[in-house]
Amino acid sequence: MKVYQTNEIKNIALIGGTKSGKTTIAEAMLFEGGVINRRGSVDEKNSVSDYREIELERRASVFSTVMYTEFNGKKINIIDTPGFDDFIGEAIASLKVADTAAMIINAQNGVEVGTEITWRQVARLHKPAFFIMNQLEHEKANFEEAIRQMKHSFGEKVVVAQYPISVGAGFDTVIDVLKMKMYKFPNGGGDPVISEIPDAEKANAEKYHNAIIEAAAESDESLMEAFFENGTLTEEQTAKGINQGIATRTMFPVVCASAKHNQGIRRILEFITENLPSPIEVEATKTKEGKDLKYTASEAPVAFVFKTSVEPHLGEVSFFKVYEGTLTEAIDLINSTTGSKERLSQLFITAGKTRHKIDKIMPGDIAATIKLKDTYTNNTLTSTKNSGVAVEPISFPDPKFRTAVKAKNANDEEKLATILKEMNSIDPTLRYEHSKELRQLILSGQGELHLNIAKWMIENINKVEIEFIPPRIPYRETITKSAKATYRHKKQSGGAGQFGEVHIMIEPHFEGKTNQTEFPVRGQEEHKLPWGGKLVFNNCIVGGAIDARFLPAILKGIMEKIEQGPLTGSYARDIVVNVYDGKMHPVDSNEISFKLAGRNAFKDAFKIAAPKILEPVYDVEVMVPEEKMGDVMTDLQGRRAIIMGMEAEGNFQKIKAKVPLAEMNRYSTTLSSITSGRATYTMAYADYQQVPSDVQDQLLKAYEAEQEEED
């Protein structure tokens, strides 16, 4: 295969909502470029992109797929991404290395929630973009309404580059206002019939043509001057302006297609090769230190791994983009993240599961290698000359769905942990932790579907049977008033005995007010607790009632009880403990005696200090179609949510609320059900707040019952 230079490469990511036709468009692009000789389909389970077992079973993309096609002497790297919000990490990683986002719009539905979600990532990463209006052959397609929605959501930078003569079952013709020609597409692909624009369409075409020329002029000061001077731009100036306008995000052109019938795809490939920026024409990617990477072939190599996958009979495949230098087969590099040495024994370009060996990869290109020892997603491979260089990593979203997971066979627990570690290295949005506090293995992801896919893979690929169980909630315990308690630990069993008596008073701790006790403080220790909040330990003893050497033992006993609170066994926080009196025995007093006395005195005082249970509360933002707002609001209020506000965002309403974590279990499933999959949400930890008294009573009863079962 030809070795393409940087200026001959176009890197695009196909993104958009589910069922918009991304995979079908990718299939047609590969067919038109001659990479495949027959178009497959999702329904027939033979597409290039959706080839994995889980995707064949679901008939939908679950992972991003790296492909390529060749057209007009250019190489187009295509990354097909899943449309489900649960797999947004795949889209984000793909956008990291793409130079342009191809946003696919379903002409039936216009701007959907999935479109809004992915567009936010495009904007956050400041990526150039263009739109492909797909499914124009559908009877419910509405081009004008979709354009109206797009302008409403994405602004006036959306400009029509093509518009259909008619939509629905007879769609096969567009007016191309870049070329100012009419294109009639044959069913199944191939060269279109190009003709002059009919008189009936000339006025409309001129309107769109003038709009795109104005947008092109706005991309460059010299073009703007030429536009004001001549009232238009030459064809060469227009082409330059469109290229710069896309590269600098001053315009987002819209082109048309019926991917199902392969109509318009060849012209779109032509548009990509002529008008989209190459890697050197877009905003430079930066290193962690803020240095621009400039795709210089003569520089020492810098390659960034944006995706890791496991392929049957092959093992781990690492997909990377070259940002500096030239890579050749059998090159030795260093992982600047881990310091490990890696040899790229083989280099491939891929089209789904099909791989073609290549000897050289130029800067700006995307390729793959296999069987790296210690390199995963978000790692940078460099040479010894620049071993400290690391590409700015992908910023993945925090999880918003969690469950506890355990192996059905206890002997598989260790194996399960190893599997989850490997899965996290491949998919950083899938996270796990052994929670000491909850005494559970917690698996977190972007939604219930995300975790169900992980479960399928663990059981079907790794052959470990697992089960999901409701995760415990990380409650906190605290007090709301002061209380005193005395505890004497006395034990005599022949020989040396045990004796220790401790008098304490506990009080609520308020930030910035540590000396709040009625006793004179002789010594103070302030402990910032790992789970949040503080413990302030005051030595208020006078007259040597307890020797100072026993105070650390008292503190240790109190800390043990704070780690397993008296009410529900949850962590306690924000408490001031004043040790103000006690008794010793000249022979029987020792550290264990005072540790036990301190722990039990604290427990007794805690229970009479008006204790309260705190629960984690999250900031939740729900993006919902306006007509579904009432249903979503009703559901949130049933989850003890406090609605903080609402605001319009594009064609959707954003509901902001504070919701207890305990009420968010399976929320993604419920939200999808009541909105027919058209809403999405994000959640982020806000703070801890007291639970209502009725909820506290339920928690206390549940804990008591649990303790009785264990006894």
Tens of pLDDT, residues 649-708:
877 899 999 999 999 988 988 998 898 877 888 889 999 999 999 999 999 998 888 877
Q: Across residues 519-539, what is the average pLDDT? A: 91
Contact 593, 498 (CB under 8 A): yes
Cα gap 709→711, rounded to integer Å: 5
Asked if pLDDT for residue 514 goes beyond 60, the answer is: no
Cα gap 269→23, rounded to integer Å: 15
Kindly state the percentage of the chain with pLDDT values over 70: 99
Q: Tens digits of per-residue pLDDT, 457-480?
A: 999 999 999 999 999 999 999 999
Q: Across residues 331-350, what is the average pLDDT? A: 93
Q: Across residues 68-92, what is the average pLDDT? A: 95
pLDDT attached to residue 15: 96
β-pair type (74-80, 65-71)? antiparallel
> Residue 400 — pLDDT band, cuts 50, 70, 90?
confident
376: CB partners within 8 A, 6+ apart = 305, 308, 318, 425, 426
Cα gap 222→330, rounded to integer Å: 47
**Between 707 and 528, the higher pLDDT residue:** 528
Burial class (CB in 10 A: 0-12, 13-18, 19+), 452: middle
**Token pair in block for residue 435:** 């929670």
Q: Across residues 39-64, what is the average pLDDT? A: 90
Contact 107, 143 (CB under 8 A): yes
Identify the DSSP state of 520.
P
pLDDT attached to residue 312: 79
Measured at the CA of 315, the angle between CA 314 and CA 317, to 5 degrees, comes to: 95
pLDDT attached to residue 306: 97
Mean pLDDT of the chain: 92
pLDDT attached to residue 112: 86
The CA-atom distances, in angstroms, between 642 and each of 353, 635, 648 are: 48, 12, 19
DSSP codes, 635-697: HHHTTT-EEEEEEEETTEEEEEEEEEGGG-TTHHHHHHHHHTT--EEEEEEEEEEEPPHHHHH
> Residue 1 — pLDDT band, cuts 50, 70, 90?
confident
In this structure, what are the phi and psi dihedrals at residue 102, rounded to the nearest 5 degrees?
-100, 100
The CA-atom distances, in angstroms, between 399 and each of 15, 423, 450 are: 21, 15, 10
> Global pTM?
0.87
pLDDT attached to residue 337: 87
pLDDT attached to residue 711: 54
**Between 513 and 227, the higher pLDDT residue:** 227
215: CB partners within 8 A, 6+ apart = 157, 159, 241, 242, 245, 250, 251
Cα gap 650→120, rounded to integer Å: 11
Closest by CA position to 477, among listed 172, 193, 177, 688: 688
pLDDT attached to residue 228: 87
pLDDT attached to residue 390: 94
pLDDT attached to residue 221: 86
Asked if pLDDT for residue 436 goes beyond 80, the answer is: yes
Which residue segments constitute the domains of the chain, with CATH numbers given?
6-283 (3.40.50.300), 286-386 (2.40.30.10), 401-469 (3.30.70.870), 477-609 (3.30.230.10), 613-695 (3.30.70.240)
Q: Across residues 543-566, what is the average pLDDT? A: 93
Cα gap 56→53, rounded to integer Å: 5
End-to-end, the C-alpha distance of the chain in Å comes to 71
Residue 705, H or E segment: helix 693-710
In 15-139, where does DSSP find H-type helix? Answer: 22-32, 53-58, 88-97, 113-124
pLDDT attached to residue 519: 85
Cα gap 696→701, rounded to integer Å: 9
484: CB partners within 8 A, 6+ apart = 503, 504, 505, 605
Cα gap 654→620, rounded to integer Å: 10
> Residue 516 — pLDDT band, cuts 50, 70, 90?
low
